[in-house]
Amino acid sequence: MVSATYILDLFVGSFVLGSMYALLAIGMSIIYGILRLINFAHGAMLMVGAYFYIMFLAMGLDPITSLPLSMALGAVLGVAIDFFAYRPLRGGPELSMLITSLGVYIFLENLVRIIATPQPRVFPLPEFLKGVYRYGDFSVRVIEIFTIISTLVLFAALVLFFTKTKVGIAMRATADDLEASVLMGIDANRIIMIAFALASMVAALTGFLWGGMYGQVDPTTGFMPGVKAFIAAVVGGIGSLTGSVLGGYILGYAEIYSVGLLPPEYSGLRDGISFLILIIILLIRPYGLFGREVERV
């Protein structure tokens, strides 16, 4: 018989993992919405973001400065990748960009391997995020609370950005119809740049949260979260922000609860379960929960 506390533990764990998937999935969705590109390199941006944070700490900066700096540097890297890797391919077949994004992933992972060695590194969590709150049998870590709150704050900020600001609305318009948005005087390249900056910045933050949750990072850290975020985005309906968030949480809950409630010998199936959910949802709703059929020209 499982206790109520155990269920509550699983609930918090799911919420935390789901939040991180959702953050990554949003970034993938923003880029897909505008470029129709499934950016496989997005997972690597999480890993690189975590390394940026470690780098700034090593340079002697304090955590409060290092986090925003690592996010800013993540944004710059995202824009640079778009400029050098994707922009030259615009107007070409979508497949070329997809393959390039795989290439960018491999490049980033190995670049970090060369610069920072393949060894896992301890992720130094700032003092104020290290604590644990206990209520009887139930305990929750400060980093978990921080992850959940920062995710929710970020969602709220993104919703405001996409519905209330001119640039945010213009980004949605560009995702809806690129040709028409150009006719409105929108510089598509600038909008794409903002999309990469935004998505990469959020990925870098996710890297910090991921490192903080699991205590260490290595050059392959971004791979599985990237795959999961892709599944989350597809389950939710890639291109839809609400869908991505929902997809992230569905995945987080399914993974943690299946591992937590199934007998221990099945815990190795957690990644398989993610793919099973993907397959089932795509069989029922081929465009995801919130997706709609992509119009082809």
Residue choice 76, 79, 178, 269 for contact with another protein (CB under 8 A): 178
182 binds another protein (CB under 8 A): yes
Is the Cβ of residue 12 or residue 171 nearer to another protein in the bound state?
A: 171
User: Which 184-243 residues touch another protein, going by CB under 8 A?
Assistant: 184-188
160 binds another protein (CB under 8 A): no
Q: What ranges in the chain are assigned the alpha helix state H?
A: 4-35, 42-58, 63-81, 94-116, 142-164, 166-176, 178-183, 188-214, 223-236, 241-261, 270-284
Residue choice 183, 264, 268, 283 for contact with another protein (CB under 8 A): 183
> Could you tell me if 106 and 220 are in contact, meaning their C-beta atoms sit under 8 angstroms apart?
no
Stretch that binds another protein, among 93-101, 104-112, 138-146, 169-177 (CB under 8 A): 169-177
Stretch that binds another protein, among 4-12, 121-129, 175-183, 223-231 (CB under 8 A): 175-183
What's the min distance (Å) between Cβ of 165 and another protein? 10
181 binds another protein (CB under 8 A): yes
Residues 6+ apart with CB under 8 A from 124: 54, 57
DSSP 157-219: HHHHHHHHSHHHHHHHHHHH-HHHHHHTT--HHHHHHHHHHHHHHHHHHHHHHHHHHHSEE-T
Residues 6+ apart with CB under 8 A from 140: 12, 132, 133
Q: Count residues contacting another protein (CB under 8 A)?
A: 18
Is the Cβ of residue 113 or residue 172 nearer to another protein in the bound state?
A: 172
Nearest to 223 by CA among 152, 271, 294: 271
137 binds another protein (CB under 8 A): no
> Could you tell me if 47 and 222 are in contact, meaning their C-beta atoms sit under 8 angstroms apart?
yes
Is the Cβ of residue 72 or residue 186 nearer to another protein in the bound state?
A: 186
Is the Cβ of residue 147 or residue 181 nearer to another protein in the bound state?
A: 181
Contacts 24+ apart (CB under 8 A), 131-139: 136/5, 137/3, 137/5, 138/5, 138/8, 138/9, 139/9
Residue choice 119, 134, 135, 179 for contact with another protein (CB under 8 A): 179
Stretch that binds another protein, among 21-29, 34-42, 69-77, 168-176 (CB under 8 A): 168-176
Residue choice 59, 153, 180, 224 for contact with another protein (CB under 8 A): 180
Is the Cβ of residue 130 or residue 292 nearer to another protein in the bound state?
A: 292
Q: Which residue has the tokens 């002697």?
A: 60
Is the Cβ of residue 4 or residue 297 nearer to another protein in the bound state?
A: 297
Give me the residues that bind another protein (CB under 8 A), please.
166, 169-170, 172-173, 176-188
